[in-house]
Amino acid sequence: MTPPVNGDNRAAVLHGPGDVRVERRPVPEPGPREVLVEIAAVGVCGSDVHYYEHGRIGSFVVEHPMVLGHESSGRVVALGAGASRHAVGDRVALEPGVPCGNCRECRSGRYNLCREVRFFATPPIDGAFANYVTIHEDFAFALPELVSDEAGALMEPLSVAVWACQKASVSAGDRVLVTGAGPIGLLAVQSARAFGATEITVTDVNPHRLALAERTGATQAINVAELPLEDTGVEADALIECSGHPASLQAGISSLRPAGTAVLVGMGPEEEGVVPLALIQNHELWLTGTFRYANTYPAAIALAANRRVDLESIITAHYGLDEAEAALRAGREDPTAVKVMVMPASRAGQT
Amino acid sequence: MTPPVNGDNRAAVLHGPGDVRVERRPVPEPGPREVLVEIAAVGVCGSDVHYYEHGRIGSFVVEHPMVLGHESSGRVVALGAGASRHAVGDRVALEPGVPCGNCRECRSGRYNLCREVRFFATPPIDGAFANYVTIHEDFAFALPELVSDEAGALMEPLSVAVWACQKASVSAGDRVLVTGAGPIGLLAVQSARAFGATEITVTDVNPHRLALAERTGATQAINVAELPLEDTGVEADALIECSGHPASLQAGISSLRPAGTAVLVGMGPEEEGVVPLALIQNHELWLTGTFRYANTYPAAIALAANRRVDLESIITAHYGLDEAEAALRAGREDPTAVKVMVMPASRAGQT
Amino acid sequence: MTPPVNGDNRAAVLHGPGDVRVERRPVPEPGPREVLVEIAAVGVCGSDVHYYEHGRIGSFVVEHPMVLGHESSGRVVALGAGASRHAVGDRVALEPGVPCGNCRECRSGRYNLCREVRFFATPPIDGAFANYVTIHEDFAFALPELVSDEAGALMEPLSVAVWACQKASVSAGDRVLVTGAGPIGLLAVQSARAFGATEITVTDVNPHRLALAERTGATQAINVAELPLEDTGVEADALIECSGHPASLQAGISSLRPAGTAVLVGMGPEEEGVVPLALIQNHELWLTGTFRYANTYPAAIALAANRRVDLESIITAHYGLDEAEAALRAGREDPTAVKVMVMPASRAGQT
Amino acid sequence: MTPPVNGDNRAAVLHGPGDVRVERRPVPEPGPREVLVEIAAVGVCGSDVHYYEHGRIGSFVVEHPMVLGHESSGRVVALGAGASRHAVGDRVALEPGVPCGNCRECRSGRYNLCREVRFFATPPIDGAFANYVTIHEDFAFALPELVSDEAGALMEPLSVAVWACQKASVSAGDRVLVTGAGPIGLLAVQSARAFGATEITVTDVNPHRLALAERTGATQAINVAELPLEDTGVEADALIECSGHPASLQAGISSLRPAGTAVLVGMGPEEEGVVPLALIQNHELWLTGTFRYANTYPAAIALAANRRVDLESIITAHYGLDEAEAALRAGREDPTAVKVMVMPASRAGQT
């Protein structure tokens, strides 16, 4: 390994709820078939914010200092032993979860359900709010020139949306209902359009987000604070539930055509929830949920490179690595914030 | 149409809750492409009992006198205009729901979800507790000699079980959990075995039914009054929920492997119910339900004719048509009763 | 039925190879649940030309005078008994094949494989080169204002393309190879794009058609008279074979990734053909073919109404009904001709 | 690693066409997460015979001495570093191909199509005609007591048959046609039955094999030397082609119902072959092929342990390791031979 890196690796480390510190850490050494990546852009995800605010998500508890951030892109700066897929200098998007590759789930193509997956910014694995990270070369995906660093980082949430569309079997001419217009909901709208959906209804209570959804592909935006979904007569082939609100889930399922599919993407407040079981039976509906994604990066990159999705449209602010804590707070403080980016390689402050 | 029928058509007519009367009715005339069938055997279904006891099932209300019974077989005795699929004398099983054939659901192969379906013993359509009924020739299926009249009638509940296995994609080597060992649950056990499942766990609180399940294909029978399913360590590829009990549904879903499928067959007491949403997401489970069945009769008959299922094993009593009311009461009065048959063409009483 | 029609019904009738005569015929009476449609636009299909030139297609022989044309749209001018889906005046696209609705194929959702289907311009059923035709109301689909009469007629070939994409499971980010850039190939390119394909390679030997393909969605157009497909390094997830050329089929299959799918749409010159069987095994490829389509009209109309396809782009000429024979000859005589329309309701000549 | 092995490792090594020598080799050391297995039983496969007779199969050429045999079972005798799935003493079946786990095919669950797979007895990888072999612990599958050593070895060809049934989506009540009643065809018959098929037609020209097929699940056996398949009126939902004969493939495809599936398992003599393309189109048939299998061992073992298949029924002879060459010749010399076993751990000669 040639060492073209300058040796200065900072990372935004979560020490406990509300306690993020920018610290110097050694530049990691890429292991066999790994690459060392200089991070260019990292998106702030709701899960990062949740760890920052609560120090845990369900049974995942931050017990030791951990670097946040799992939506990232960067530039390959060194290769580990046997790594041959990328050259130094390649721009790449990082798929942040590396599964074991051998277990029943991995062998069946469901590697997102691998119990031994090592996933960025999920305790105890460090994430990408840093200057340098290492990753298995097969989980770094080359970015075409047309895809910016920020868009490259957003291959991760776009993968969530693509995966949801795949689970819902969204196809040309479909009618899709997306409940919740946060970053994932907005990307679900764009993805549904890219999958060929021609009628895309989105619901939320935030008029900024509804307006943005309409500008980026939704054919109908409903503010459910003013008009209940039940009163709209919407019938959908697929529901992509991105709000985590129990009421949205129920109303959404009730809007499905016979044999339609509901996909849970947003996480609700409770382990359990109420669903219209009689309707699921009488109309033979399908209900499932997504946990991350599998095999989505190539499609996500192709959609971005071909302008079938517009990832920049959801970016509302950029922060430097030193401002990571401000970036984690931005969503709470600004109702117009959607996707906030941290740019570790940039000296620039908030834009 | 040659009239080989003797003109004496009796029917067991439900006039209101608890009020079934055996009455003479004209022998019906088969319409175009219909056949007239002399009914040999009719199974008593839980829905018949529910109509008998309550006069309604949900929004389906018996407002006018209605003949019960929809699990039936018999002998073709006359052909309507243009009917050519059967000959007079053929023994047939009757698929009791005739859909419109033109709507979106019908055209998509989901004819069980047709809104215009005319289904036996569902208001206002008369059923098969009668000497003679008519049906479209394409919904009468020839029975091989090896399949008895009673087994022919039970092609209907067997279809429910086959459909559930198809929805759950049960295949060779699968591990299937059947919650509830009533007639449908017992047939689900047998069907799962016929679909190649090698590990079939059944749960109930009735030891008679659990013992019968073990004799007919279950590899493990759990009395959940004594041992909660959660304590058994069962992991299943598919859940076929036949009890309608909310607790069974939740425990059953929690027993699924990642990416497993739960199929609701039993109807619960409420329109809505609680399910483990976080688990559905984290394990990407699939939940669906069945409403009757579609395209199952040929497979059901083939399974019966090839002894892959043993329908006689679940029959616990036979009644004459005059004893229809006693047949409707048998299930409540005898904990060992499973499937009770009405035999309109027989003079014999209870056996 | 109110008779708002003027009673003047002309039709272009094929009497034998090369013998088309425009004749007056009685305005047909719509039967139960049928509608009477005044035809506005009819596309000329290769099968029309084949019947015109040869009097037969395989085992389908024109033994009695027959009206050609099966890609049509028009205006509802009268309703048969019980027809309630449309109002007089509605603009509709006509799905030209009405299946029996009851057979095994129909019940399974594969109504395009119904043996009793009555299909326009397939002996002995008359087609739509006429002022008036009748059709079952459920096979007339309302057209939004945004969809022109010509585009409405082209819902039929678009359905062929949509069906091919569905068979090939084309989805977002896919790489699709379309061999043959005739009207169907061109619509397959557009459809693949509408289904989300991001890499669409098209092959042909006609530079006009290749250029048109590139203008309407192909990302790469290869003139295989100059550059064999094998030399291009193309790897595709799906092949949509629209040329009917044996060499294209073989080269196309050989371009598939492991587990890819080849769909035969173009009809070859022979009943049998050579395929790379060892490759199909070693790469576990899938090969299938399409016969018409099923359940595609709603999606096709939605794609047209939402500008996901541009049907006008392939129309190269319009003819009046009296010029039907010229329209049938246009393709042979002009290498730049793609889709030629007959406009029965228009007095205008060729445009 | 504790060394409970006696250090005496013999192997039957192919040096060239017709040249197999039993040689002493060092006992291999299990690597990280590998296990060392003392081989109990190895089935002789047609590919072993082909390498023995020709020194190559297509582009796979035996350039250096290679141990044959890939259908094997045995007993774990030592564990490599980090191996924890098995204990010393466990009886296991060996899945003979270990894929890379990271490539596109592996991640998609199609690890059988991995280009970097290391597969027993495929140049340059040694096979299992030996006393000891090593394998990744996740590709050794524990055998229940009910499954004999020989049956354990036959999990490999049974996997081929199970995979074919999965590709063909064989399900309860299906009608399956198996062309060719060699070892794979016979196991396809048994598998089809285990998957619920109720009508299983088998064809061959060898009366011994046809009789064996009938004893083990075929409902109809046709000697196509006497009666062409075309004359039998057989209609099948699925074809499993196990003969490699071009004529069988064509006749088999022609016997499929509309929308049926043909699966190529037997390898034909040529890279290319003729298929009825017009029929594939007009009936929308599906044609695919199998290359080994993926994720089949658990199901195969469950079927054997539950007596849904009878593997002993196809075993016609046993040989010691020193008699490996005789075992490789047995099939050619005896028309009644079906599956021949080599038993490395046994001193016994031919039985």
Rounded average pLDDT over A40-44: 98
pLDDT, one tens digit per residue, over C15-63 is 999 999 999 999 999 999 999 999 999 999 999 999 999 999 888 899 9
**Which residues does residue C299 pair with via DSSP β-bridges, in sequence order?**
none
Instruction: List helix spans (H) across C217-257.
Output: 246-254
* Average pLDDT over chain A, rounded to an integer: 95
Coil vs helix vs strand at A260: strand
Reported as a pLDDT band with limits 50, 70 and 90, residue C351 is very low
Question: Would you call D284 and C275 a contact, using CB atoms and an 8 Å cutoff?
Answer: no
The pair of structure tokens assigned to D334 is: 């005896």
pLDDT, one tens digit per residue, over C238-292 is 999 999 999 999 999 999 999 999 999 999 889 999 999 999 999 999 999 999 9
Which has the closest alpha carbon to C30: C64, C12, C5? Answer: C5
Is some CB atom of chain D closer than 8 A to the CB atom of A350? no
Coil vs helix vs strand at A137: helix
Is some CB atom of chain C closer than 8 A to the CB atom of B107? yes
Contact predicate A341/A319, CB 8 Å:
yes
| A71 has pLDDT over 70 | yes
pLDDT of residue B150: 98
pLDDT, one tens digit per residue, over C61-94 is 999 999 999 999 999 999 999 999 999 999 999 9
The residue of chain A with its CA nearest to that of B110 is A259
DSSP state of D30: P
pLDDT of residue A269: 87
**Residue given tokens 């020194």 in the structure block:** D55
Contact predicate C107/C64, CB 8 Å:
no
Reported as a pLDDT band with limits 50, 70 and 90, residue B263 is very high
ipTM of the complex: 0.96
Q: Which amino acid, residue A301?
A: I
pLDDT of residue A161: 98
Reported as a pLDDT band with limits 50, 70 and 90, residue A333 is confident
pLDDT of residue A335: 87
Within a 10 A sphere around the Cβ of D2, how many other Cβ atoms? Answer: 8
Q: Which residues of D touch A111 (CB under 8 A)?
A: 107
Rounded average pLDDT over A91-106: 95
pLDDT of residue A347: 57
Reported as a pLDDT band with limits 50, 70 and 90, residue A11 is very high
Rounded average pLDDT over A247-260: 98
Calpha distance A318→A302 (Å, rounded): 24
How distant, in Å, are the alpha carbons of D15, D28, D80, D297 from that of D83? 33, 16, 6, 19
> Which of B105, B258, B286 has the CB atom closest to A286's CB atom?
B286
Calpha distance B263→B240 (Å, rounded): 5
Neighbour-count burial of B340, counting CB atoms closer than 10 A to its CB (0-12 exposed, 13-18 middle, 19+ buried): buried
Reported as a pLDDT band with limits 50, 70 and 90, residue D6 is low
pLDDT of residue B333: 87
> Which of D110, D275, D283 has the CB atom closest to C273's CB atom?
D275
Contact predicate A327/A339, CB 8 Å:
no
- CA of A342 to nearest chain C CA: how many angstroms apart? 28
pTM of the entire structure? 0.96
The dihedral of CA D243, D244, D248, D251: what is its sign?
Answer: positive
| B351 has pLDDT over 80 | no
Higher pLDDT, C7 or D98: D98
pLDDT of residue B185: 98
pLDDT of residue A58: 84
% residues pLDDT > 70 (chain D): 97
Question: Would you call D299 and B173 a contact, using CB atoms and an 8 Å cutoff?
Answer: yes
| B25 has pLDDT over 70 | yes
Reported as a pLDDT band with limits 50, 70 and 90, residue B7 is low
| B36 has pLDDT over 90 | yes
pLDDT, one tens digit per residue, over B146-203 is 999 999 999 999 999 999 999 999 999 999 999 999 999 999 999 999 999 999 999 9
pLDDT of residue C332: 86
> Which of C174, C198, C299 has the CB atom closest to A173's CB atom?
C299
Kindly give, in sequence order, each residue whose CB lies less than 8 Å from that of residue A234, ignoring residues fewer than 6 positions away: A177, A201, A220, A222, A255
Calpha distance C317→C349 (Å, rounded): 10
Calpha distance B349→B340 (Å, rounded): 13
Which has the closest alpha carbon to B51: B13, B99, B79, B91? Answer: B13
The residue of chain C with its CA nearest to that of D250 is C272
Reported as a pLDDT band with limits 50, 70 and 90, residue B1 is very low
Reported as a pLDDT band with limits 50, 70 and 90, residue D332 is confident
| A156 has pLDDT over 90 | yes
The residue of chain B with its CA nearest to that of C107 is B109
The pair of structure tokens assigned to D35 is: 């296990």
Question: Would you call B108 and C109 a contact, using CB atoms and an 8 Å cutoff?
Answer: yes
**Residue given tokens 């943005």 in the structure block:** A212
Calpha distance C211→C66 (Å, rounded): 36
Expressed in angstroms, the distance from the first to the final Cα of chain D is 36
Can you say how many angstroms the Cα of residue A269 is from the centroid of all Cα atoms in its chain? 19
Coil vs helix vs strand at A98: strand
Coil vs helix vs strand at C187: helix
Question: Would you call B191 and D172 a contact, using CB atoms and an 8 Å cutoff?
Answer: yes
Reported as a pLDDT band with limits 50, 70 and 90, residue B327 is very high
> Which of C267, C274, C282 has the CB atom closest to D291's CB atom?
C282
Calpha distance A152→A256 (Å, rounded): 34
- For the stretch C187-190, contacts whose Cβ atoms lie closer than 8 Å and that sit 24 or more positions apart, written own/partner, are C187/C154, C187/C157, C187/C158, C187/C160, C187/C161, C187/C309, C187/C311, C187/C314, C188/C161, C188/C164, C188/C240, C188/C242, C188/C265, C189/C213, C189/C216, C189/C217, C189/C218, C190/C161, C190/C216, C190/C217, C190/C308, C190/C309, C190/C310
Crossing angle of the two packed helices A183-194 and A155-167, in degrees rounded to 10: 60
> Which of A106, A108, A294 has the CB atom closest to D101's CB atom?
A106
pLDDT, one tens digit per residue, over C95-112 is 999 999 999 999 999 999
Contact predicate C122/C41, CB 8 Å:
no
pLDDT, one tens digit per residue, over B40-86 is 999 999 999 999 999 998 888 999 999 999 999 999 999 999 999 99
| D183 has pLDDT over 70 | yes
For C187, left (φ over 0), alpha (ψ -120 to 50), or beta? Answer: alpha
HSE at residue D154, side-chain half, CA atoms within 13 A, is 29
pLDDT of residue C71: 98
pLDDT of residue C108: 97
HSE at residue D108, side-chain half, CA atoms within 13 A, is 15
Reported as a pLDDT band with limits 50, 70 and 90, residue D269 is confident
pLDDT, one tens digit per residue, over D207-233 is 999 999 999 999 999 999 999 999 999
Calpha distance C213→C190 (Å, rounded): 8
| A351 has pLDDT over 70 | no
Coil vs helix vs strand at C298: helix
| A179 has pLDDT over 80 | yes
pLDDT of residue C350: 41
% residues pLDDT > 90 (chain C): 91
Test the B interface: residue of D170, D171, D220 with most B CBs within 10 Å? D171
Contact predicate A24/A9, CB 8 Å:
yes
Which has the closest alpha carbon to C79: C88, C70, C68, C71? Answer: C88
Q: Which residues of C touch D259 (CB under 8 A)?
A: 105, 108, 110, 113
pLDDT of residue D333: 87
The residue of chain C with its CA nearest to that of A199 is C302
Question: Would you call A294 and D107 a contact, using CB atoms and an 8 Å cutoff?
Answer: yes
Q: Which amino acid, residue D85?
A: R
Which has the closest alpha carbon to D5: D32, D25, D23, D21? Answer: D25
Q: Which residues of A touch B164 (CB under 8 A)?
A: none
| A337 has pLDDT over 70 | yes
Question: Would you call B138 and C111 a contact, using CB atoms and an 8 Å cutoff?
Answer: no
How distant, in Å, are the alpha carbons of B25, B52, B130, B342, D322 from that of B126? 12, 14, 9, 16, 76
DSSP state of D179: E
pLDDT of residue C58: 84
> Which of C267, C276, C284 has the CB atom closest to D272's CB atom?
C276
The pair of structure tokens assigned to A208 is: 């900024």
Contact predicate D222/D209, CB 8 Å:
no
pLDDT of residue C5: 58
Rounded average pLDDT over D169-197: 98
| A300 has pLDDT over 70 | yes
Question: Would you call B107 and C109 a contact, using CB atoms and an 8 Å cutoff?
Answer: yes
How distant, in Å, are the alpha carbons of A53, A326, A329, C340 from that of A70? 17, 17, 17, 54
SS (H, E, C) chain B: CCCCCCCCEEEEEEEECCEEEEEEECCCCCCCCEEEEEEEEEECCHHHHHHHHHCEECCEECCCCEECCCEEEEEEEEECCCCCCCCCCCEEEECCEECCCCCHHHHCCCHHHCCCCEECCECCECCCCECEEEEEHHHEEECCCCCCHHHHHCHHHHHHHHHHHHHCCCCCCCEEEEECCCHHHHHHHHHHHHCCCCEEEEEECCHHHHHHHHHCCCCEEEECCCCCHHHCCCCEEEEEECCCCHHHHHHHHHCEEEEEEEEECCCCCCCCEEECHHHHHHCCCEEEECCCCCCCHHHHHHHHHCCCCCHHHHEEEEEEHHHHHHHHHHHHHCCCCCEEEEECCCCCCCC
The pair of structure tokens assigned to A231 is: 């009163």
Q: Which residues of A touch C198 (CB under 8 A)?
A: 299, 302-303, 305-306, 308
* Average pLDDT over chain C, rounded to an integer: 95
pLDDT of residue C349: 43
Which has the closest alpha carbon to D116: D126, D127, D125? Answer: D125
Reported as a pLDDT band with limits 50, 70 and 90, residue C149 is very high
The pair of structure tokens assigned to A344 is: 């570790």
Is some CB atom of chain A closer than 8 A to the CB atom of C166? yes
Calpha distance C213→C211 (Å, rounded): 5
Which has the closest alpha carbon to B337: B228, B248, B206? Answer: B206
pLDDT of residue A349: 43
pLDDT of residue B241: 98
Test the A interface: residue of C306, C307, C309 with most A CBs within 10 Å? C306
Question: Would you call C101 and B103 a contact, using CB atoms and an 8 Å cutoff?
Answer: no
> Which of C250, C273, C291 has the CB atom closest to D284's CB atom?
C291
